[in-house]
Structure 1
Amino acid sequence: MKLGDGVEAAIHCANMLAGLEEGRTLPASALAEYHGVSPSYLLKHLKELVAARVFESVSGPHGGYRLARTPDRISLLDIVLAVEGREPAFRCAEIRQRGPGKLEPAAYTKPCGINAAMLRAERAYRAVLAETKLSDIIAGYQADADPRAITFACGYLARNQRPQA
């Protein structure tokens, strides 16, 4: 299974927004610059996260983005579904019913075993993402990251966050 690059960018942006002071926002341009991604590419994903109520968008001169909920109430699954959509990664096309060896439709009364196995894997994968909160990611980062990276991130955030409207 391969997730798009937007998932990584979205999780990193959520991690950064969690560091904002109360009521403050961070412009999309600052998020894009910090992560070295195209602003137009990132804006697409930011809009998806706002639509999913993971992020909030604030308009105006002090506008930007912030988390819509506290980090302990945002799961990685919330972020993945916002960016990738709700469809399972594996979609059975019933190719067993094609080709020269296909039988009449009545011969396929039992679900495809491959589809069933892939859906079990999808449920397990989503369960782990659902139980992993953004706050867990933040705690891991704070415990394991190089202190220079944390210092730089905090300074960048302080310089680029916008005051309360």
Structure 2
Amino acid sequence: MQMGEGVEWGLHCCVTLAWLGDEGPVSIRKLAAWFDLPQEYLKKRLQALAKAGILTSTPGVRGGFALARPPEQITLMDVVVALEGADEAFRCAEIRQRGAGAVGADGEFGRPCGIAAAMRRAELAWRRELAAQTVADLMAHAPAGAERTRRNYARMGD
């Protein structure tokens, strides 16, 4: 399974916006410069997060993005689903029911195969882990980042 780079971008932006919460909306220009990312691609990711209710988007000269809810209420899974969709990573096509291998199975296919069941258990564990971690947890693992972020943001100016 491979997630797009937008998930990393989205999560880092959420943490940064949380640290800059008192600054009001942060412009897409500043966020793109902050991480040296292409502004239009980043904007699409952040718009998806706004559509999902993770960020707010304020239009205008003083506009930008901010967290829509407290960091404790935004899970990593929220961000992943907003940017990658909710589809399961593994999709069983039941190929065991096709071709010569299916001849004589007589009811053997009434339950999901062991492969589908194992993949589903693994995905559920992955989803549970991401749902248990919040933006606030990420912030807690990098406490020095908060002060550095505020200091560097103040140096950026308008």
For the aligned pair, the TM-score class normalised by the smaller chain equals: 0.7 to 0.9
The sequence identity of aligned pairs, in percent, is: 41
Q: C-alpha displacement at 1:141, in angstroms?
A: 0.9
After superposing on structure 2, the runs of 4+ consecutive aligned residues of structure 1 that deviate more than 6 Å are: none
Structure 1 unaligned runs (5+)?
Answer: none
Segment of structure 1 superposing worse, 72-81 or 96-105: 96-105
Cα distance between partner residues in 2 of 1:137 and 1:42 = 20
For the aligned residues, what is the CA RMSD? 2.3
Q: C-alpha displacement at 1:95, in angstroms?
A: 2.1
Map 1:5-154 onto structure 2 (within 5 A): 5-22=5-22, 24-103=24-103, 107-142=108-143, 150-151=147-148, 153-154=149-150
Question: What is the one-letter code of the residue matched to 1:22?
Answer: D
- TM-score, reference length from structure 2: 0.88
How big is each residue's C-alpha offset from its partner over 1:14-52, in whole Å with a ceiling of 9 and x where there is no partner? 011002243701111211121122112111111110111
Over 3 Å counting, the alpha-carbon distance change for 1:44 and 1:21 in structure 2 is closer
Question: What is the one-letter code of the residue matched to 2:151?
Answer: G
Question: What is the one-letter code of the residue matched to 1:72?
Answer: E
Over 3 Å counting, the alpha-carbon distance change for 1:51 and 1:100 in structure 2 is same
Determine which structure has greater relative contact order: mean sequence separation of CA pairs < 8 Å that are 6+ residues apart, divided by chain length: 1
Structure with greater helix share of residues: 2
Q: Secondary structure at the match of 1:22?
A: helix
Question: Number of matched residues?
Answer: 157
- TM-score, reference length from structure 1: 0.84
Cα distance between partner residues in 2 of 1:128 and 1:138 = 17
